[in-house]
Amino acid sequence: MKKSLLLGLSIVLVLSILLTGCGQQPGAAQQSNAAVNDTLQRVMETKKLKVGVLPDYAPWGSRNAQGNFEGYDVDLAMLLGEALQVEVEVVPIEAPNRVPALVSNKVDVIIACLTPTDERAKSVTFTIPYAAAGLVPMVNADNTTINTYKDLAGKKVAVVRGGTPDLFTAAAVPEAELIRFDTIADAYTAFKTGKAEAFVEEDTFVFIEVKNNPQYKSVGEPFSTELISFAVKKNDIEWLNYLNNFLTNLRFTGKNAEVYEKWFGHAPKDLTLR
């Protein structure tokens, strides 16, 4: 009788351990699941998608004369809305605030020329890349002292605080005197008003600007190459999977290249691994 009772108690104890996750504290599993985001389901239910874009970074994202957002990233956001059959709300996000805006739930996805650095990946999750870009310095057309990025040593260089130009330039030319600003517009203005001798940004942005403004020029070849991805919150697997599927189809059908050429005037960089 005692053996049967002990055997029964042992079975109950084993089952209890298994059901609570091998000794896991009660409620821990529920707490873990509660941390999982489900943006895709919410977007489908509300029929509304909030996309963070850059407001001052043509041709990726900017406002036109009518005050409407336009650009490569904006077009991709609209195509995403069409695929989901939902309304798209474009939310202007300054470059240093892209990751914080996502973490604080201000937007559902960042489509804003964002480089998937290892540091940023600690806070957000990145999709597969949809574009690539490099960094190149911009100087006045009559500047004869800066001919490559290496010549930035000892020069005042305007960059966006904490952005890829800031991080990569500091690493490539530690002797450069970086002047950091909170927005791309402020950094660019500082250069144009003579507060800095050079302005470092993505080559796609710089090439368009020097084409439209002959008083400036780009110098040398891009000194870095970075992939560009969408970003989503952590623990948002279904949303991440959907966006990866969307981008795969966008690239496979040639639509991504079509939109890119519309805004940049040339074919996109190869995204294959070498």
CA distances from 61 to 67, 87, 91, 108, 194 (A): 12, 18, 11, 17, 25
Is the domain of 142 the same as that of 220? yes
Question: Does any domain span residue 33?
Answer: no
Q: What is the pLDDT of residue 225?
A: 85
Please give the radius of gyration of the chain, using alpha carbons only, rounded to the nearest integer: 24
Is the domain of 81 the same as that of 204? no
Q: What is the pLDDT of residue 84?
A: 98
Q: What is the DSSP letter of 118?
A: T
Q: What is the pLDDT of residue 37?
A: 82
Q: What residues of the chain score a pLDDT lower than 50? A: 1-34
Q: How many residues does the chain have?
A: 274
Nearest to 32 by CA among 18, 41, 16, 20: 20
Question: Does any domain span residue 14?
Answer: no
**Residues contacting residue 187 through CB under 8 Å, at least 6 positions apart:** 158, 159, 160, 179, 180, 181, 196, 199, 201
Q: What is the pLDDT of residue 76?
A: 98
Question: Does any domain span residue 67?
Answer: yes
Q: What is the pLDDT of residue 273?
A: 56
Q: What is the DSSP letter of 96?
A: G
Nearest to 223 by CA among 162, 158, 161, 150: 150
Q: What is the pLDDT of residue 163?
A: 87
Is the domain of 73 the same as that of 143? no
Q: What is the pLDDT of residue 3?
A: 42
Is the domain of 96 the same as that of 214? no
Is the domain of 119 the same as that of 153? no
Residue appearing with tokens 């927005």: 183
Q: What is the DSSP letter of 27?
A: T
